[in-house]
Amino acid sequence: MELFYLLCSILSAFFTSLVLSCLLPFRALLRCLCSSRSVGSSAATGEDPVSLYEGTVWHERRRPVHHSFRYAVRYALVDIDSAPNVLPDHLSGDEARRIAGTTGPVYGFLLTIPPSVGYEQNPLSLYYCYDLAASTQNLKQCIAEVCNPSTSA
């Protein structure tokens, strides 16, 4: 019986990933069409509202028992004020500004792990909130949104 449940789980994950992978080109096309209409901080400067980065997460604990792990990650740096489709389970630019306590114009940048083909594990999202003083940008607050992937549903 457990073998049956395992097989069903594998097939479910396979078909979910397949369907979501097929939808990616359509979402990309829709974002291109929507981004031509949006006007925001990045659009005003000619910059792309989303930048992708690759890196490695590494952790080591030596006491009480030695334990370590390392894995590759891909992060997206999103200008949440000018991105056409902000992730719905993250703070908006206005919410980040309210939490940061900024009073003037603020650019909020979200550094997060984007969902990929139906799989989402995002233990840490960082919001960089800048105040603009004259012609300089000053980092005023950094908000860390932490989610323990082993306990989230």
pLDDT tens string 7-24? 888 888 888 777 766 666
Q: 71 or 89: whose pLDDT is higher?
A: 71
Q: How far is CA 22 from the centre of its chain?
A: 21
Rounded-to-integer distance, Cα 26 and Cα 32, Å: 10
Domain spans of the chain, in order of start: 38-49+77-146
Considering the entire predicted model, what is its pTM? 0.57
pLDDT, residue 89, reads: 75
Residue 78 near residue 31, CB atoms below 8 Å: no
Residue 102 near residue 135, CB atoms below 8 Å: no
Q: 8 or 81: whose pLDDT is higher?
A: 8
